[in-house]
Structure 1
Amino acid sequence: MKAFLSAALFLPGFVLPALAAEPSTLIGERRARVEWAKAENRKDCAPLALAASSQPEGAPRSAYFGGGWGVAFDLPDQRSAYGFAGTGLLPDDDADVAVQRDRLYRQWPYFRDLAQFPGASFAGYGQEGAEPYPAANREGVALQSLAYMRIAGQRCTYNVWSRISRAHLEWMLDNLRVVTD
């Protein structure tokens, strides 16, 4: 085999076979794992991370969420520009999925299903305070965008935020993944 590989390396178009690939690291995964391991809600609220780097790309740090965990991303000129958190558990978190869906649908001006997660996973979102974006700034540029997100199989309501734009928040909703062992 060694002789074959040595000779094959000089053949035009030869590509080495894939060897054991290193596991990919999600963006913010290490910080999420650290914060999640300290959280009271860790049995009911799995950690999350981003599947791809954000534009602009921030530096992850811990964010306090009483009873839960959080990861905030700081930009050079903006602290907590965006992030996500598994909040401490609330009494409403035990409600049936249909009740949760209806609650978020009625509470927030925008709503979307989250196909990257299993089962009934969804988010309600808008400008902080569950407000629609103003007519003069429908893209929510530089406004505090916030989403409440439910993931099938998890008991908590996740918070996802962006001070960059509505499109950035929607990008985050589509790129969040559950961190697995």
Structure 2
Amino acid sequence: MRHYLLTPALLLAACGSPDPAPQPSATPTLSSEVATPTSTVAATPAPAASSSTRFVAADLVRQQWGKAENRETCAPVAFTDVGGADGTPRAATFSGGWAVAFDLPDRRSAYGVAGPGLVQADRGPPYAKSRELAEQWPYRMELDQLERPSFAGYGLEGAKPYHAANSTGQGENSLAYVRIHRQQCTYNVWSRLGRAHLETLLRGLQLLPRQN
């Protein structure tokens, strides 16, 4: 298994401990919830975000994306639903790419999104990446709000399934790797507020419209 996105260079700005997400473990446990990827899924357009769509921290995302080395291959994305969390957004450092983290009064980097720098493994065909993420992560979500095929592989940090005794993931760190059709990077979305919150973030993830 490749360990290529989350590196020690993941240093989110300001004080405190390094922000999200250690690398996946070498031997993740797969769950029966993993869907079998296929190379036959045709790309179909998703509904475009309307002019009334409320993006969270859109200006900051665009600002960080605009300074990133990978801005030509990793379009800006933002949340449209943060599940009632009222985090304070801030710029974050993500090697070769861009990131925005959200802090809560009692929890630094409670959730966020990042577009990591492109690595060689991301240059393969979408079906190959789909298969790889399905093998790596215990859960998979199709992102129907985006152009298909767009999907996320997710679970606990380390590519682990949620524990039977704590299936909601409360008090643990959830992480998703996201592939969006026509984008070359593998986005990271994380939440330290539980599994349901991470899934809400993923369902509300949208490409930011380019400003005129």
Band the TM-score falls in, shorter-chain normalisation: 0.7 to 0.9
Q: Where in structure 2 are the equivalents of 1:11-50 lying within 5 Å?
A: 24-50=53-79
Distance 2:90 2:137 in 1: 28
Contact 2:53–2:80 (Cα < 8 Å) also in 1: no
1:149 counterpart (178, 181, 190): 178
Distance 1:23 1:38 in 2: 27
One-letter amino acid matched to 2:195 = R
Distance 2:127 2:82 in 1: 33
Match in the other structure for 1:15: none
Match in the other structure for 1:12: none
Match in the other structure for 1:79: 108
Match in the other structure for 1:119: 148
Distance 2:122 2:191 in 1: 23
- List runs of 5+ in structure 2 lacking aligned partners: 1-50
Matched residue of 1:169: which SS? helix
Contact 2:82–2:201 (Cα < 8 Å) also in 1: no
CA 1:25–1:112: 2 relative to 1, 3 Å: closer
Q: TM-score scaled by structure 1? A: 0.85
Distance 1:68 1:95 in 2: 19
User: Structure 1 residue 60 and structure 2 residue 89: aligned?
Assistant: yes
User: Which is richer in helix?
Assistant: 1
RMSD: 1.4
CA 1:23–1:56: 2 relative to 1, 3 Å: closer
Distance 1:53 1:159 in 2: 15
Distance 2:161 2:155 in 1: 5
Distance 1:144 1:53 in 2: 16
Matched residue of 2:109: which SS? strand
User: Structure 1 residue 106 and structure 2 residue 127: aligned?
Assistant: no
Match in the other structure for 1:166: 195
Structure of larger gyration radius: 1
Tell which has more relative contact order, 1 or 2 (C-alpha 8 A, sep 6+).
2
One-letter amino acid matched to 1:54 = G
Q: Cα distance, 1:53 vs. partner? A: 4.2
Q: TM-score scaled by structure 2? A: 0.73
Distance 2:104 2:72 in 1: 31
Q: Cα distance, 1:26 vs. partner? A: 0.7
